[in-house]
C-alpha cells in the first residue's frame, strides 16, 4: 500500500518535510515558523532510535495537512545549531513558532505521544484517513457495502496500520459474505491487550460468521425448537443464525431463554455466546444495552 493515494510509499506532499543545513536554517525554520509551527528533527545516520522516530514524525505531519512542517537536521554534518540549543542526545525534536523554540522532546516516542505533542501546537488533528473512515462507517451502517469497502481501502492507503480502518474493512468483507477475506485480513494483525473496541468487535463478528456458516438457516432450527423446547443446542444454533440474519433481539432472546431454563447448560455456553454478541455489536449499541439489562435481570433476580 502507498502512504498517500497517488504517491509512492514514503512520499510526502511538497514542502511538508525537508532537510536543512546551518546555512539554510534561518529561512527553513525561523522564517517559516512565522507562518505555521515548524518541527526540527535533530538526527544522525548512526542513530537507531532516530530511524524509529522518522516515519512516525512524517506520518503525523502528513496527517496535520499543512498546519505544521518538519525540518530534519543531520547533526553529524551540521552540529552548530544543536549545540546552541543545548541538545545532548538524539533523536531530539524542537518546535519553533514565530521564530522561537517553544517546546520539544527527546527520544523515540510512540505515535500517540508524538501526535499529542503536535496537537498542543495546532489543535486536534483530523486527517484524511479519519474522514474516509467516518464516511465508510456511514456507508456500512446503511448497508452500502461497495462504498464501505472502497472507503476503508482508501483509508488504509493513507494509514496502512489504522486499526479502525482494518476493523471496518473486515466487517465490510463479512457483510459482503467474504469470510475468508476478513479472516486473512485480521490474521495479519496480532492480538494484543491494547486492541481497541473496533478490532475486538471485528474478531467477534468473524467468529460469529464462521459459526453461522455451520448452523445454516434459521427456518429449520425454528421448527426443531418448536418441536422440542428443551433442545438447547437447537435454540443456541438458532440464536447464531438469527444474529447472522440481523435479527439481534431474537438472537439475544433465544440465548436468554436457555439461561432462564438452565444457566449451567454447556458450561455456561449461552451466556458466553451472548457476551460475544455484545462484543460484535458494540458496547453502546441499543441492542447490546437492552439485552444486557435482560441478562442482569435473569442473573440477579
Please give the positions annotated as active site: 47, 50
- Provide the sign of the torsion angle of the four alpha carbons 100, 103, 107, 111, taken in this order: negative
Cα 183 to Cα 164: distance, rounded to the nearest angstrom: 16
84 phi and psi angles, rounded to 5 deg? -65, -30
Cis omega (within 30 of 0) on the bond before 248? Answer: no
**If you count them, how many residues does the chain have?**
301
The values of phi and psi at residue 160, to 5°, are: -60, -20
Nearest partner of 173 among 196, 197, 190, 148, judged by Cα: 148
Distance, CA of 291 to CA of 280 (rounded, Å): 13
Write out the three cell numbers for 252.
Answer: 439475544
Phi/psi class of residue 36: alpha, beta or left (left: φ > 0; alpha: ψ in -120 to 50)?
beta
Instruction: Name the phi and psi angles at 6, rounded to 5.
Output: 85, -5
| Cell 458496547, residue located | 283
Distances (CA, A) of 40 to 29, 113, 195, 271: 8, 16, 32, 55
3-state SS of 46-62? Answer: CCHHHHHHHHHHHHHHH
Report the Cα–Cα distance between both ends of the chain, in Å, rounded: 54
DSSP letter assigned to residue 29: I
CA distance 89 to 86: 9
Amino acid at each position: 500500500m502507498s502512504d498517500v493515494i497517488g504517491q509512492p510509499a514514503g512520499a510526502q506532499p511538497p514542502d511538508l518535510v525537508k532537510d536543512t543545513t546551518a546555512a539554510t536554517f534561518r529561512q527553513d525554520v525561523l522564517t517559516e515558523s512565522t507562518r505555521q509551527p515548524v518541527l526540527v528533527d535533530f538526527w544522525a545516520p548512526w542513530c537507531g532510535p532516530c530511524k524509529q522516530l522518522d516515519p512516525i514524525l512524517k506520518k503525523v505531519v502528513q496527517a496535520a495537512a499543512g498546519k505544521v512542517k518538519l525540518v530534519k537536521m543531520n547533526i553529524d554534518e551540521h552540529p552548530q545549531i544543536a549545540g546552541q540549543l543545548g541538545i545532548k542526545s538524539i533523536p531530539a525534536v524542537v518546535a519553533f513558532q514565530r521564530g522561537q523554540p517553544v517546546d520539544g522532546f527527546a527520544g523515540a516516542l510512540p505515535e500517540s505521544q508524538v501526535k499529542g505533542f503536535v496537537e498542543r501546537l495546532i489543535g486536534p488533528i483530523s486527517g484524511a484517513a479519519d474522514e474516509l473512515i467516518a464516511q465508510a462507517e456511514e456507508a456500512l451502517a446503511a448497508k452500502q457495502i461497495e462504498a464501505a469497502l472502497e472507503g476503508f481501502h482508501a483509508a488504509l492507503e493513507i494509514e496502512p496500520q489504522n486499526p479502525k480502518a482494518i476493523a471496518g474493512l473486515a466487517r465490510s468483507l463479512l457483510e459482503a459474505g467474504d469470510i475468508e477475506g476478513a479472516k486473512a485480513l485480521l490474521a495479519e494483525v496480532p492480538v494484543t491487550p491494547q486492541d481497541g473496541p473496533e478490532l475486538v468487535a471485528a474478531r467477534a463478528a468473524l467468529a460469529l460468521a464462521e459459526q453461522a456458516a455451520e448452523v445454516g438457516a434459521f427456518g429449520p432450527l425454528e421448527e426443531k425448537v418448536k418441536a422440542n423446547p428443551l433442545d438447547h443446542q437447537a435454540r443456541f444454533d438458532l440464536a447464531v443464525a438469527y444474529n447472522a440474519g440481523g435479527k439481534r433481539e431474537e438472537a439475544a432472546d433465544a440465548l436468554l431463554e436457555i439461561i432462564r431454563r438452565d444457566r449451567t447448560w454447556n458450561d455456561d455456553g449461552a451466556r458466553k455466546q451472548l457476551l460475544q454478541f455484545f462484543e460484535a455489536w458494540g458496547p453502546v449499541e441499543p441492542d447490546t444495552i437492552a439485552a444486557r439489562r435482560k441478562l442482569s435481570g435473569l442473573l440477579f433476580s
